[in-house]
């Protein structure tokens, strides 16, 4: 077994999430990978309420024996939109497929998620921390507005969200964007650090099936528990359950898993049929039109599955 990289060579990551079943798989990859140092987990309302997503984040980290990683709550409600509790029910009423986890003894960090982003970015050298947002962009938009000078200290922002084709909550919009399109618009119009959008074009292809879940179950107790969560996941297609968030964070472990093109992303916020659509303009290069975002269009499923085999 190769000697594991010391903490200095690990990629430092903050995960902002709405745990959620695929969020839990993303957490497992980040905790298990020797290439990642997960500095903190922050939460918001998305799949379920912030109270439940925070509880789930604490308990999943405990399941992964990673209770030392701080968990901080963020903004409780999306900016300017109403997100009904359990709107989607796709993750179950408790957010993790009705699986009951032993309650973690870890207390929620007293800081607000935005303060955690700011403190870690102020403490660490520039370009040494990446942030992955796998829920609505409410916290990150609030951070950008609160600490604009710290945004360009971020090495890379990974957003699980959006689509250049069909949506999953409306015909044209993806859930994380739809849950808070105003925050998403602010981020994609103003972000000043390298940013990747990992949307449904690739994440809906990154599925796991019952054979893969059985392998997780044989490998570890925590793997068996997360497999039970996935079986309770109502987002399923003919190939299995799509691991949206797990694929998004995988790019931090192996950048070659996804093939990306730059685009200017315009988020629609008018209340029409295009509401919460992420219109990706791959043609306009001019900086004046706004930030160029790296949009994931292709995925190496063999590499993604190899990563799951290595870590789950």
List active site positions.
244
At 283, list the tokens.
């043609």
Q: Could you say which of ligand RIB, Ca ion, none residue 16 binds, taking C-beta under 5 to 8 angstroms by partner kind?
A: none
Q: Three-state DSSP class for 31?
A: helix
CA distance 257 to 108: 33
Interface region with Ca ion, contact rule CB under 5 A, candidates 59-67, 122-130, 177-185, 237-245: 237-245
DSSP category for residue 147 = -
Considering only 14, 15, 20, 154, the residue that binds Ca ion (CB under 5 A) is: 20
Which residues bind to ligand RIB, rule: CB under 6 A? 18, 20, 22-23, 46-47, 134-135, 160, 168, 174-176, 244-245
Helix (H, G, I), strand (E, B) or coil at 262: strand
Binding window for Ca ion (CB under 5 A); candidates: 3-11, 18-26, 37-45, 49-57: 18-26
One residue of 74, 95, 135, 167 binding Ca ion per CB under 5 A: 135
Q: By C-beta, is 247 or 312 nearer to ligand RIB?
A: 247
**Which pair of structure tokens corresponds to residue 287?**
């900086």
Q: CA angle 255-122-179, nearest 5°?
A: 60
Token pair recorded at residue 213: 């879940």
Supply the minimum distance, in Å, between the C-beta of residue 147 and ligand RIB.
24
Residue 24 or 263: which CB sits closer to Ca ion?
A: 24
Cα-Cα-Cα-Cα torsion 255, 259, 262, 266, nearest 10 degrees, comes to -100
Is 134 near Ca ion (CB under 5 A)?
Answer: yes
Q: How many CB atoms lie within 10 A of CB 110?
A: 9
**48 contacts Ca ion (rule: CB under 5 A):** no
Output phi, psi for 123, to 5 deg: -75, -40
Q: How far is the CB of 128 from Ca ion (least distance, A)?
A: 25
Instruction: Tell me whether residue 121 or residue 235 sits nearer to ligand RIB (CB atom).
Output: 235
Q: Under rule CB under 5 A, which residues in 243-262 are in contact with Ca ion?
A: 245
By a kind-dependent CB cut-off of 5 to 8 A, residue 181 interacts, out of ligand RIB, Ca ion, none, with none
Q: How far is the CB of 114 from ligand RIB (least distance, A)?
A: 20
User: Quick one: tokens of 127?
Assistant: 């370009």
Region of residue 53 (phi > 0: left; psi between -120 and 50: alpha; otherwise: beta):
alpha
Q: Rounded CA gap, 276 and 265, in Å?
A: 11
Write down the least CB distance from residue 19 to ligand RIB, Å.
Answer: 8
Residue 174 interacting partner from ligand RIB, Ca ion, none (CB closer than 5 to 8 Å by kind):
ligand RIB
Beta bridge partners of 198: 160
Q: Contact positions toward Ca ion, by CB under 5 A?
A: 18, 20, 23, 134-135, 245
């Amino acid at each position: 077994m190769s000697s594991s990289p010391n903490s200095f060579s690990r990629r430092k990551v903050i995960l902002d999430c709405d745990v959620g079943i695929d969020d839990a798989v993303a957490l497992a990859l980040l905790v298990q990978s020797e290439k990642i140092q997960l500095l903190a987990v922050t939460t918001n309302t998305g799949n379920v309420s912030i109270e439940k997503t925070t509880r789930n984040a604490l308990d999943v980290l405990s399941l992964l024996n990673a209770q030392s990683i701080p968990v901080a709550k963020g903004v409780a409600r999306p900016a300017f939109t109403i997100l009904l509790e359990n709107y989607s029910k796709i993750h179950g009423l408790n957010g993790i497929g009705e699986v009951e986890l032993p309650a973690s003894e870890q207390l929620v960090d007293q800081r607000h998620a935005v303060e955690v982003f700011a403190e870690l970015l102020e403490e660490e050298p520039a370009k040494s921390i990446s942030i992955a947002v796998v829920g609505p962009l409410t916290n990150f938009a609030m951070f950008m507005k609160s600490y604009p000078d710290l945004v360009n200290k971020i090495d890379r922002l990974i957003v699980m969200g959006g689509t250049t084709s069909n949506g999953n909550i409306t015909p044209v919009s993806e859930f994380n964007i739809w849950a808070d399109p105003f925050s998403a618009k602010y981020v994609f119009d103003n972000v000043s650090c390298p940013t990747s959008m990992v949307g449904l074009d690739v994440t809906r292809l990154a599925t796991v099936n019952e054979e893969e879940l059985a392998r997780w179950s044989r490998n570890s107790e925590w793997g068996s528990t997360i497999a039970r969560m996935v079986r309770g996941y109502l987002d399923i297609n003919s190939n299995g359950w799509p691991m949206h968030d797990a694929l998004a964070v995988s790019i931090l472990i192996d950048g070659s898993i996804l093939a990306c093109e730059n685009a200017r992303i315009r988020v629609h916020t008018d209340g029409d049929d295009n509401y919460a659509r992420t219109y990706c303009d791959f043609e306009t290069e001019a900086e004046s039109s706004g930030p160029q975002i790296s949009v994931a269009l292709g995925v190496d499923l063999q590499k993604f599955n190899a990563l799951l085999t290595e870590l789950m």
